[in-house]
Amino acid sequence: MSETSASVVKTPWWKYPAWLLLGVGFGAVLTKAQVISVVRVRRMFAFQEAHMFLVIGAAVVTGVISMFIVRALRKTKTDVSGVPMEFKKRPFQPGIWIGGLIFGVGWYITAACPGPIYALIGAGVWDALVILAGAIVGAFVFGWLKPKLPH
Amino acid sequence: METAITDPLPWYIAGPLLGLFVPAMLLLTGREPGVSSSFRHLCAVVPGAKALDYFKYDVWKDGLWQILFVIGILLGGTLVQFVLGGAGVPLFLPENLTAAGLALLFVGGLLVGFGTRYADGCTSGHTISGISNLSLPSLIASACFVAGGVLASLVHRFVFGGLVP
């Protein structure tokens, strides 16, 4: 979990609706860009169309450039409420590639990465509830096996 | 649900919009976009899960922001599909709605949940947020996500004779 001193500061109330609304925007773009569709996902992994790769690539390039600008212009590295931005630590560990490959196979089978699972449920695709149930059980299995897995 | 395929929101609009969520969320709320930890939160609220160390934390304090974010994603799907003209493409395969199809989706979901927790991130947490913040492990994780998917596609098509929709 996120162990930070930031949580000592009380979260301003408006951040809660902000997270919800940011989620709505994120989910709407995922859906309108069709990256939650089995058609696009399967065609990506078969290298039959570039759409998904281009969306993801453009997102990454935009993220890198915009964060470069944010870092340069906001030396305090705090958000608008003065709380330090929480950059998640992502150390090297075997799960990066083992877990990564396992997730990739699951992404192909379900045609949904985690964000799209929720967007699909919202779009009325009820079978995505089965994917979500599987994912929650998968998280449980990970929590259960974690002490035995290489880290 | 036979939907005719129409063009998606073009990649050069959708991609940059998704990427801008990283600085927008960090500047406004101090958090990076990420989704897959929500599976951990949803498991941690189940009575009994706290028997495992991995679920011993205060979900309502540490995870509420992310639960709100994923509820938002869900509502975003609803907004587009039912208010803003729809996604314009079939979102699922009819064969999913058989017993075997649902079982396969459950197993696939299990791999998504286990894999993203072991890798500690998914396409949003690692690929978009992680790489945006110049994390090399995130880049490697992202390459493995795609490698796993491509491998599964090869097996599906060339071993099981599966078709691309």
The model's pLDDT over A2-20, given as tens digits with 9 standing for 90+, comes to: 445 444 568 999 999 999 9
User: What's the confidence (pLDDT) of residue B3?
Assistant: 54
φ/ψ (deg, to 5) at B113: -65, -50
Q: What is the pLDDT of residues B106-150, one digit of tens each?
A: 999 999 999 999 999 999 999 999 999 999 999 999 999 999 999
User: What's the confidence (pLDDT) of residue B77?
Assistant: 98
* The model's pTM: 0.94
Mutate to test the interface with A, among B41, B102, B105 (most CBs of A within 10 A): B105
User: What's the confidence (pLDDT) of residue B5?
Assistant: 87
- Separation CA B155–CA B165 (nearest Å): 16
Interval A121-144 mean pLDDT: 97
By Cβ distance, the residue of A70, A123, A146 closest to B77 is: A123
Residues of chain B with pLDDT under 70: 1-3
Alpha-carbon distance values, A23 to A98, A128, B14, B77, B109 (Å): 29, 18, 15, 10, 21
> CB of A108 within 8 Å of any CB in chain B?
yes
Interval A36-59 mean pLDDT: 97
- For residue A23, give the H/E element and its range: helix A15-32
Residues 6+ apart with CB under 8 A from A6: A83, A84, A86, B30
φ/ψ (deg, to 5) at A84: -60, 140
User: What's the confidence (pLDDT) of residue A151?
Assistant: 84
Percent of chain A at pLDDT > 70 equals 94
> CB of B24 within 8 Å of any CB in chain A?
yes
SS3 at position A48: coil
User: What's the confidence (pLDDT) of residue A10?
Assistant: 83
By Cβ distance, the residue of B20, B30, B151 closest to A66 is: B20
- Separation CA A41–CA A22 (nearest Å): 24
User: What's the confidence (pLDDT) of residue B1?
Assistant: 45
Q: What is the pLDDT of residues A75-120, one digit of tens each?
A: 999 999 999 999 999 999 999 999 999 999 999 999 999 999 999 9
Q: What is the pLDDT of residues A76-86, one digit of tens each?
A: 999 999 999 99
Is the pLDDT reported for residue A136 higher than 70? Answer: yes
Q: Look up residue B91 and give its two tokens.
A: 């979102």
Facing residues of B61 across strands?
Answer: none
Q: Look up residue A113 and give its two tokens.
A: 């990465």
- How high is the ipTM of this complex? 0.96
Question: What are the boundaries of each domain within chain B?
Answer: 11-158
User: What's the confidence (pLDDT) of residue A6?
Assistant: 47
- Residues in chain A within 8 Å Cβ distance of B115: 99-106, 138
